[in-house]
Structure formats: C-alpha cells, structure tokens
Amino acid sequence: MRWPLPWPKSWRKEAPPEAEEPEEERPKTLREQVLLFARDLAVAFLIVAIVMGLLFAYARVWPPMVVVESNSMQHSDAESFVGVIDTGDLVLVQAVGTAGDVVPYIEGRATGHATYGDYGDVIVFAKPGAALTSTPIIHRAMAYVVRNATGGADVLGLARLPEAAWSALATNNSTGNFAQGILEFTLRDVGYRGLDLTFRPADELTRAEVTEGFLTKGDHNNNPDGHGAVAVNRILGKARGELPWFGLLKLTLFPGGSGCCPRGWGSTGPDGAPKNSWDALLVSLVLIIVGPFAADFGWAFYKEHRQAKARRTAGPLARLFPRRLKRWERALAGTLGALFVAGPLLLFGYLTTWYLGGFALVAVAFGVSLLLGAITGGAHPRAPTAEDEAKVTGEGQTESAGPEGGGPGPP
C-alpha cells in the first residue's frame, strides 16, 4: 500500500512503473512483401551492375574474365599456387590494342617484368587458323617476331639479353648472337624447370600465314606451341589478376570437352585440378556461407559482454603501471623504454652470438612495455562497480522524491 502523504519519506513507497507491453508488429500485406522483395532484388542487381561495369571499364573487353580449363600454365603436377595460373582459376583479361601492349618473355627477362611466376605477359588468344569464337588459349608470350626479307625472321628483343642466355641460327647457317635474319634461336634456363628451348620463328610465321606475331608457350609444357605465330588481331587480351579456385564451380557444372573436369567435383590428375584447389574452394564456400552469421554472432556477443562488464587492461601494462602516471613518470618510462629497446639491438648487432639473443629479446620486450606505458599513461581507469552505480541511482532518487516527482519533498 502506498503512503498517501508526502512525509515521512521513509514511509512513502513508489509503485513500480508498469511494464509497457511491446506493440505487436502488423503483418505485412502481400503487396508490401512484393515491394520489399523487389527493392532488395533491385539493390542486388545494382551492386552486380556496378561491379561488372567497373571490371569492364578496366578490362575494355567482354567477358572480362575467363576460366582456365587445363593445366598448361601450372608450375606443378599436383599442387596449385596463388599467383600462378592453375586449373580452375578465374583470370581477369585486359584488352590489347597493339603489340607494344604486351611484354614478351625475352624482354621481361631483360627488364625484370614478370607476371604469374615468370617473365613476360600471359595472353589470351584464339588459336591461329581457328575461329575467333573457338575456346581461347591462355599461354605466355615468349617473343615477338617479324618476317625478314632474307626469308628468316627478326627477333629484336634477343639483343637485350646476355649473350650466354641465348644463341641463334642465321639464314646463312651462321651460329651466334644474331637477332635479325634468323631461322631459329635457343633460350637457356627458361621457366620454373630451367629448360633450354628452341624456337623456329620463320616456320611459325609461315604456318600462321602472317608477317609478324607472338610465339607462345604454356609454363607447364615442355615445348613451345607449334600452332603458328599469334597476330595481334587474334589476341583477346592479356591476363591481369586472378580469382583462384572459383572457376572450378563452372567446370563442375559444365565440364569442358577437352579440359577439366569430366568426373565432376573433386576431379584430379591430368584432366582435373590439383587437390589443394578443391580443398581451398570448399573452405572458401563454407566461410562465405557461415562467415556472415559468425561475424554477426561474434559482434553481438562482444558488444553484450563489453556492456555487461568493463575490464581492466590485461597484460604486463596493468602490472607495471597499476595507476595513472604523472607527466614526469611518463617521461622517465619513455626514456628507459627507448634505452631498453635500442641498447640491446645495437649490442646484438655488433656482437652476434646466440647467448645474447635471449637477453636481447627480454630487454626489448620490457622496453616496448615501458614505451607503451609512457604512451598510454599506465592502466586504464577503473571500471565502474555496483557501488558506484548504486550511488548514482541514490542521488537520482533523492532529487526526485517530491510528491509528484518534480523536486525534493518538504523537510
């Protein structure tokens, strides 16, 4: 029973406020549900359109990505690597306008320009003699060759290599470091296997019925391509960037006629993909599906935990600095920390012995702790306790103890 008079205060007991019942959400009509679904669908399509538009603006070719269907560019028989073109990779393709847009292997070896684990650019092209709409080939451009009036070919990029790295056979049957009027040339220590490869540029130009073009080779293949020189107008683009493994989804649903993966998911071997690519794809799919839920749950748990209980700074700082440091104490801690970090490192640099390593690491760790303490000023402020919250609540009740809750009551 509530005491009717405003005094004495100790007899007056405030009735607890009635809990407000949450309003029930009105069920959405079919029209509202359709509109919400249409809105979400439009946003999804808009995001996809923006991403594809940005890809097309960069690549200037459509489609901007191709799926690698064979192992001809791999750097291992049974293992895939990020940064190397492997079976099942999605590769971004950028348009090529002129021969100068492509850096072949021999020029890349001379200048240090490398892509996908070796020198030079990788190009995507239609095989000479085949239709432009046929399945494209993705191989490394090895050299740019031009027909010479003598019946041979000019490979001017060879002149930029060290003489020990190559040799050539001229049309007059002379052997040496000739870059013009040659029938064939040999490159030494090529690729991840360190092969010696012989190219016949004059024959390749004749086979493709062109006067200039690129000689190509797959990194995993033992020999250069023998399909003829690739003219610029047959190049669909050059490879730029990759999305590893995800092309295996397409190859699983629609296996290539002569490529991966005729046995479906998990195909390995010469007509499949490396096992670690399948494993990485499976883990990626699980993370994509489970990741958003785990992140949302983790954030909610962290937020609730942080709001429920504030903690002191953990670790060595709370033990080294149990209270806030004064200005001179912070300066002293910073000075000592710098000495403990710089001194052992300098000493260890001059006297590199194994037994000094442990002492140096301990001293550096202690110095870093001192520096962090000097920067932060010691431990964080004490978290509010239940007594602090009760004091705040009591003050609030004292201020609002009048008859109508608008001010203090009579004395």
Q: What angle do CA 352, 356, 359 make, to 5 degrees?
A: 145
* Alpha-carbon 203 to chain mean position: 42
Greater confidence (40 vs 274) lies with 274
pTM of the entire predicted model: 0.64
Dist. CA 118–CA 366, nearest whole Å: 45
| DSSP letter, residue 158 | G
pLDDT higher than threshold 70 for residue 248: yes
Mean pLDDT, range 207-234, rounded to an integer: 94
Dist. CA 77–CA 411, nearest whole Å: 93
Within 13 A of 265's CA, how many CA atoms are on the CB side?
7
Q: What is the chain's alpha carbon radius of gyration, rounded to the nearest angstrom?
A: 36
Q: What angle do CA 44, 47, 48 make, to 5 degrees?
A: 85
pLDDT in tens, 138-185: 999 999 999 999 889 999 999 999 999 999 999 989 999 999 999 999
CB 10 within 8 A of CB 3: no
DSSP H helices, 213-264, are 247-253
CA dihedral 348, 352, 358, 363 (to 10 degrees): 0
Chain-wide mean pLDDT for the chain?
Answer: 78
Range in 127-136, 197-206, 306-315 with the lowest mean pLDDT: 306-315
pLDDT value, residue 348 = 46
pLDDT in tens, 42-60: 887 888 888 888 888 888 8
pLDDT higher than threshold 80 for residue 9: no
Dist. CA 92–CA 372, nearest whole Å: 45
pLDDT higher than threshold 70 for residue 381: no
Dist. CA 170–CA 153, nearest whole Å: 9
CB 171 within 8 A of CB 181: yes
SS3 54: helix
Residue 157's identity, in one-letter code, is: G
| DSSP letter, residue 288 | H
| Phi then psi dihedrals of residue 167, to 5 deg | -155, 160
CB 99 within 8 A of CB 232: yes
| Phi then psi dihedrals of residue 75, to 5 deg | -110, 20
pLDDT value, residue 309 = 55
pLDDT in tens, 319-333: 555 556 676 677 777
